[in-house]
């Protein structure tokens, strides 16, 4: 339950960030010239996560991203994006650029003869915007999962520390019990030692008496 609440809390924060994000259209330079593009800024993430998430997210488009040589662009050939490509396919170009704690995802959609734009393809452009917002949510989810794993890792370390303290307590208690046993044994040894001393004293006294008796015998023989 706590795990679910934690996940919901993190996800809520990311959704707030997403709600403030907007997809914007702009003309941007790419390998095929200056073309109309759709751009979204993703906050609280990094380039590596965005690239990984897009590769997973775009699998449903039936096209595999490929890096374009000698450029920062990626390309997906003959992608099928419902609502954007219609009954045809679309070539998707995109870049992922990280800067100042945010990642800018810029994408171009070659419909074949024209690049997707809201003036000529209003409905398809809206679908592209929806798709990018949906992708932004996937990025947020990925970041939440990463955060959750970090928190779970921290919890595991705390659990291990608590377990270690518990073992130390058991060792201390065991040491105390052993010390008590040693004290009890030492006290018993002291009592035995006192008895042994008394016995030794009695033996010394008896031995002195024997010596005195021998001395008397020796004196009698000399007399």
d(CA 109, CA 111): 6
pTM, two decimal places: 0.69
Q: Under DSSP, is residue 117 helix (H, G, I), strand (E, B) or coil? A: coil
Q: Minimal CA–CA distance to 84: which of 56, 49, 60?
A: 60
Q: Report the pLDDT value the prediction gives residue 8, as an integer from 0 to 100.
A: 53
Share of the chain above pLDDT 90, in %: 80
**What does the pLDDT look like over 149-160, one tens digit per residue?**
999 999 999 999
pLDDT at 73 over 70: yes
Residue 95 or 223, more confident: 95
pLDDT at 208 over 80: yes
Confidence of residue 218 (pLDDT cuts 50, 70, 90): confident
Q: Minimal CA–CA distance to 61: which of 35, 36, 85?
A: 85
**2-151 CATH:** 3.30.310
pLDDT at 16 over 50: no
The residue extents of the domains of the chain are 2-151
Kindly report the backbone phi and psi dihedral angles of residue 22, in degrees, each rounded to the nearest multiple of 5, phi listed first.
Answer: -135, 140
Average pLDDT, the chain: 89
Task: Determine which helix (DSSP H) or strand (DSSP E) holds 129, and give its type and residue range.
Answer: helix 122-222
């Amino acid at each position: 339950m706590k795990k679910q609440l934690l996940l919901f809390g993190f996800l809520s924060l990311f959704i707030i960030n997403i709600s403030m994000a907007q997809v914007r259209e702009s003309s941007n330079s790419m390998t095929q010239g200056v073309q109309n593009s759709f751009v979204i800024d993703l906050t609280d993430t990094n380039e590596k996560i965005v690239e990984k998430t897009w590769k997973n997210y775009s699998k449903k488009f039936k096209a595999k991203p490929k890096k374009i040589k000698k450029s920062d662009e990626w390309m997906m050939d003959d992608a099928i994006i419902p609502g954007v490509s219609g009954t045809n396919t679309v070539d998707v170009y995109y870049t992922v650029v990280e800067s100042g704690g945010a990642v800018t995802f810029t994408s171009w959609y070659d419909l074949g003869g024209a690049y997707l734009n809201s003036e000529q393809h209003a409905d398809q452009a809206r679908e592209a915007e929806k798709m990018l917002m949906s992708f932004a949510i996937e990025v947020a989810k990925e970041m939440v999962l990463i955060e959750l794993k970090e928190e779970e890792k921290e919890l595991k370390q705390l659990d291990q520390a608590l377990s270690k303290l518990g073992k130390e307590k058991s060792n201390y208690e065991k040491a105390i019990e052993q010390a008590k046993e040693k004290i009890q044994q030492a006290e018993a040894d002291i009592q035995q030692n006192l008895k042994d001393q008394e016995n030794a004293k009695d033996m010394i006294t008896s031995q002195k008496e024997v010596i005195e008796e021998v001395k008397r015998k020796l004196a009698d023989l000399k007399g």
